[in-house]
Amino acid sequence: MNVKFVDLESTHAEVEERLLERVTQSISENVFIGGCEVEQFEERWAKFCGVDHAIGVANGTDALVLGLRALGIGVGDEVIVPANTFIATAEAVALAGASPRFVDVDDATLLTDASLVEAAITSRTAAVIVVHLYGQVCDMAAMSAVAQRHGIALIEDACQAHGAAWSGRKAGSFGDFAAFSFYPGKNLGALGDGGAVVTGDKQLADRIRSLGNHGRGAPMGMNLVATNSRLDGLQAAALNVKLDHLDRWNAQRRVIAARYTDELQGAMGIRVTDQRAESHSVHHLFVVRVRSRDKVREKLATAGIQTGVHYDIACHLHPAFEQYASDGSLPVSEQAAEQVLSLPMHPHLSTSEVIAVSTAVRDIVSAYSGDDGDEH
């Protein structure tokens, strides 16, 4: 057996001709920074997310940093961040000059939890970044209410949630702004790094665009040091081609996730991450929790099944973030770091592969079910 975790070859095989056409055209037209591919993509991405403005930037981390800075968040401010996320969420807060304050996540979904966020708000809190992790959208009704009640900014890290929705409304359309990454392995991936900020606020959009382009076109009164963070023309060309297929690829991921759930829900020693009824997930990752995770992973690798771990350290325990506050231990995030296992997930995974992976996971986990979960 040889089951890949992500299969970009199959994805690109579907669009190769169009990709080469658009890239060749961009080269012949000499549009590398800005230009019609970037403009077209920004317009289409805003529309796709159901917002008025999208600004292409260099990557998802920059999307968060630029948005935070454009909101005026920086030194002296605290930004609430879930401990169970990709480290980039926290990096962005620190890079903007603010302090991340880590909170635990909901045990069933492993997502940012509105009541835990509310409990962590202090007089220094300027914003919360909710993370639509694994492709599932957080409870945005509850989250919007908390942000409004306390007058703090609501930011969405939608870097794993391209096309996901909560009660029919798209991820990225709830917050003051949202950040997307087009890292190649994301549901919508470029041929290198790329990212976007989306927002309904024209003034904020203008500030972000200027901040990522050396201050060009700075709105009146903007006195921030800008930087260079732009989406390349060639990357925008690739994204324009791939965006035509995103809904179909997401639908394929949904079928695969449903099959995994059928196969694994209730199996001994395996905890499938819960899905909320209101959440229309795009299943960037299919995450289960198992004990003896590293041993299970090794056995799966030996059987020819690639897996991932997202993520093996809770952010508040990361050496780079020791200096920042969290309210003591964050047990759900800490246990998740030890137990999460991401199974192969990409639009081109076949049903027989899903069944074979599920069977292998069930067999291997049940062989360890007597274990105490220690990793030796």
Ligand X SMILES: *Cc1c(COP(=O)(O)O)cnc(C)c1O
Q: How many whole angstroms separate alpha carbon 8 and alpha carbon 244?
A: 16
Write the CB contacts of 295 (distance below 8 Å, at least 6 apart in sequence). 368, 371, 375
The phi and psi torsions of 144 (rounded to 5 degrees) equal -65, -40
Handedness of CA 31, 26, 60, 280 (dihedral sign): positive
Tokens read off for 14: 């579907």
83 binds ligand X (CB under 6 A): no
**Cβ within 8 Å of residue 306, ≥6 positions away:** 3, 4, 5, 300, 344
Cβ(288)–Cβ(314) below 8 Å: no
Instruction: Give yes or no for residue 235 binding ligand X (CB under 6 A).
Output: no
Residue 333, interface with ligand X (CB under 6 A)? no
User: Judged by CB under 6 A, which stretch of 152-160, 221-229, 321-329, 360-368 contacts ligand X?
Assistant: 152-160
**Piece of 141-149, 154-162, 338-346, 350-358 that binds ligand X (CB under 6 A):** 154-162
Side chain identity at residue 342, one-letter code: S
CA–CA separation, 231 and 181 (whole Å): 11
Measured from the CB atom, the residue of 152 and 197 that comes closer to ligand X is: 197
> Which residue's Cβ lies closest to ligand X?
60
Q: How far apart are CA 153 and CA 364, in angstroms?
A: 45
Residue of 41, 86, 134, 249 interacting with ligand X (CB under 6 A) = 86
Indicate the residue among 79 and 159 with the shorter CB distance to ligand X. Answer: 159
Per CB under 6 A, does 109 bind ligand X?
Answer: no
Selected from 56, 60, 135, 344, the binder of ligand X by CB under 6 A is: 60
Minimum Å gap between C-beta 181 and ligand X is 3
Number of residues binding to ligand X, judged by CB under 6 A: 15
191 near ligand X, judged by CB under 6 A: no
260 binds ligand X (CB under 6 A): no
163 binds ligand X (CB under 6 A): no
Q: Which is nearer to ligand X, 157 or 263 (CB)?
A: 157
Q: How far apart are CA 370 and CA 96, in angstroms?
A: 47
Q: Which residues bind ligand X (CB under 6 A)?
A: 59-61, 85-86, 88-89, 131, 157, 159-160, 181, 183, 193, 195
